[in-house]
Amino acid sequence: MNSIRVPLRRAYRLLHPKLVTVIGASAHGETNFMPASWVMPASFDPPLLVAAVGEERYTLGLILDSGEMTVNPVGPDLIPLVEELGSLSGREADKASLAGTLAAEKVSAPCLPGALACIEARLRSTHPAGDHVLVVAEVVAARAWRCFDAETHAYREGCGPVYHVGGHTYMEPGRYVEWGRR
Ligand SMILES: Cc1cc2nc3c(=O)[nH]c(=O)nc-3n(C[C@H](O)[C@H](O)[C@H](O)COP(=O)(O)O)c2cc1C
């Protein structure tokens, strides 16, 4: 059977598209945001999430120093902001002024204005993973601003987070498939 041999460095693309979030972090008077699509739930009880954060990201130091972070899923309307936040480092740019900030309830890290939701989390452990660090954090608060259904606890069809395909390509939220329903 014909197949496409995928270079090992690009094999991660077979696991994309991935939901786009923006991580917020704040330490020693510095506040920063970075887009991150390598973020996923890791445990129900306690509620844990894991983010793969590049070793050289300015945000990583802020998370490690404060022990806190926010994870903010975003909709397609925020693609321009995501592209800007992802093209600059907090070492050189004041990305908090660029994006604005919204106070979180339980952590010092800021929520991102305009995001669909804000998940607040406290650092539990870190694990080296090549050129990234796996940051495991416990969810201590979570609020959704829009698109999220309070009863089903699911994003409403067509109104959810945007997905990162790779490079500068994104995928809009699409149609749901209900198994067994015709
Ligand atoms: C859509 C998108 C998703 C990204 N996902 C990640 C990710 O999961 N982990 C990561 O370390 N960097 C990721 N990046 C790259 C960082 O956001 C980017 O390097 C950023 O400038 C780092 O900012 P900082 O140095 O201020 O922390 C992503 C960028 C974009 C645009």
Q: pLDDT (tens digit, 9 = 90+) per residue, 46-103?
A: 999 999 999 999 999 999 999 999 999 999 999 999 999 999 999 999 999 999 999 9
Looking from the CA of residue 82, the nearest atom of ligand 1 is 31
pLDDT the model gives residue 1:
86
Looking from the CA of residue 56, the nearest atom of ligand 1 is 25
Given a cut of 90, is residue 20 above it in pLDDT?
A: yes
Residue nearest to atom 19 of ligand 1 (CA): 86
pLDDT the model gives residue 146:
95
Q: In the chain, what are the domain boundaries? A: 18-156
Is residue 44 within 8 Å of residue 153, measured between CB atoms? no
Mean pLDDT of 24-33: 97
Ligand 1 pocket test, pick from 15, 37, 53 with the greatest ligand atom count within 8 Å of Cβ, gives: 37
Measured at the CA of 68, the angle between CA 79 and CA 89, to 5 degrees, comes to 45
116 vs 64, 77, 134, CA distance in Å? 25, 10, 24
Give distance in angstroms: CA of 164 to centre of ligand 1: 11
Mean pLDDT of 127-145: 98
Residue nearest to atom 4 of ligand 1 (CA): 36
Looking from the CA of residue 95, the nearest atom of ligand 1 is 26
Given a cut of 90, is residue 159 above it in pLDDT?
A: yes
Give the integer Cα–Cα distance in Å for 23 and 39: 9
Give distance in angstroms: CA of 169 to centre of ligand 1: 14
Ligand 1 contacts (CB < 6 A) are 20, 32, 34-38, 52-54, 57-59, 82, 86, 88-90, 132, 164
**In whole numbers, what is the pLDDT of the chain averaged over residues?**
97
Whose structure tokens read 């998370």? 63
Give the integer Cα–Cα distance in Å for 71 and 42: 14
Looking from the CA of residue 35, the nearest atom of ligand 1 is 17
Give the integer Cα–Cα distance in Å for 77 and 75: 5
CATH architecture of 18-156: Roll (2.30)
Reported confidence tier of residue 182, pLDDT bands at 50, 70, 90: low
Task: Please provide the size of the chain in residues.
Answer: 182
Give the integer Cα–Cα distance in Å for 71 and 147: 16
pLDDT the model gives residue 181:
63
Residue 98 CB: number of other CB atoms within 10 A?
Answer: 12
Percent of the chain whose pLDDT exceeds 90: 98
CA 152 to centroid of chain Cα atoms: 22
Would you state the structure tokens that stand for residue 42, as one six-digit string?
């890791």
Mean pLDDT of 132-155: 98
Give distance in angstroms: CA of 149 to centre of ligand 1: 28
Reported confidence tier of residue 180, pLDDT bands at 50, 70, 90: confident
pTM as predicted: 0.98
Give the integer Cα–Cα distance in Å for 22 and 118: 9
